[in-house]
Amino acid sequence: MSETKPSVLFVCVHNAGRSQMAAAFLTHLGADRVQVRSAGSAPASTVNPAVVEAMRESGIDISAEAPKILTTEAVQASDVVITMGCGDACPYFPGKRYLDWQLDDPAGQGVTAVRPIRDEIERRIRGLLAELGIEPAA
């Protein structure tokens, strides 16, 4: 019998910045102990290049990631849904745990402006792992 992993969905409008960074940090720090998804209510065509660069500085390569559309199925399959500025575009299902992380939007920003957003996301991901009872990977 396999142990069930908690499932987390990160949602922002374009799925090109904040949600991509959060998903990458949770995937990296949670190793294979958390199922991670990210999506956007109106996905961009590519991940923000400044976000890719800022994550590379943290040792995480997200250059192959692509923004994905938010689906009802993704929300239903997740235990925790973390929104990052998607407002009313995020579907709500009773019984799901919702968190809303107020973070600056890195859209149109350079890597210098993205770094503090990245660092705050990493801090919150570490806190989320602690809440889930998962020790962060080294």
pLDDT one-digit tens code per residue, 108-132: 999 999 999 999 999 999 999 999 9
Residue 79 has pLDDT above 80, yes or no: yes
Q: What per-residue confidence (pLDDT) applies to 94?
A: 80
Confidence of residue 2 (pLDDT cuts 50, 70, 90): very low
Return the SS3 of 69. strand
The whole-number average pLDDT for the span 35-44 is 94
Q: What per-residue confidence (pLDDT) applies to 71?
A: 92
Half-sphere exposure for 85 (CA within 13 Å, toward CB): 15
The whole-number average pLDDT for the span 82-104 is 82
* Residue 8 CB burial class (10 angstroms; 0-12, 13-18, ≥19): buried
Residue 87 has pLDDT above 70, yes or no: no
Rounded distance between C-alpha atoms, residue 105 and residue 69, angstroms:
18
